[in-house]
Amino acid sequence: MTAFLLIWSPRKWPWPELPNVAKRVTAGETVTDVWGCGFARGILPGDRVFMHRVAQEPKGIFGSGYVTRAPYEVPDPLTKRGYRLCIDFVYDWLVDAHEAVVIPRDGLRTHPFSVQTWDAQSSGTSIKPIAEGALEKRWAELTGKRPHPLPAAIPAGPARSSKARATRS
């Protein structure tokens, strides 16, 4: 399995629904979402995603999930190419990153995490295998071990949040 970073910058996308979405995930509800993945076309269903808050404190990893749909094009007249690539995924853990993150950015500065470029400008960056293994281990220590969401339990189509509709300013 491969893991990828999904970047969230509150400066670009305020994401007012995040507290509610985090509560639903924490309560054990199956919550799906859609997220832009930059130029990454190699993301496959079943791949792991980790959400990283950038640009404003608290910075760090605050959510995770599994890809349910490979990258697809979404029309976006504000981009040079006329579309954005997006993936669908299901959360397995999420906290309200307006308040706190699970792994602060400073916690990613030591080896083996330090081999990874965490401050990517866009989503879809592949996490290097050495960092991925350490991240999964640390993530499980901090959040507990949860079963992989079963594809049959995943509702059709993601709940589109404001960040999926957001335009660049």
| Domains in the chain: boundaries | 3-146
pLDDT range class, residue 165, cuts 50, 70, 90? very low
- Domain 3-146 adopts which CATH fold? ph1033 like fold (3.10.590)
How far separated are the first and last CA of the chain, in Å rounded? 35
The pTM of the full predicted model, rounded to 2 decimals, is 0.86
Average pLDDT of 15-42? 94
pLDDT digits (tens, 9 = 90+) for 42-69: 999 999 999 999 989 999 999 999 999 9
Phi, psi dihedral angles at 30 (to 5 degrees): -80, 115
Task: Name the more confident of 158 and 16.
Answer: 16
Query: Across-strand partners of 11?
Result: none
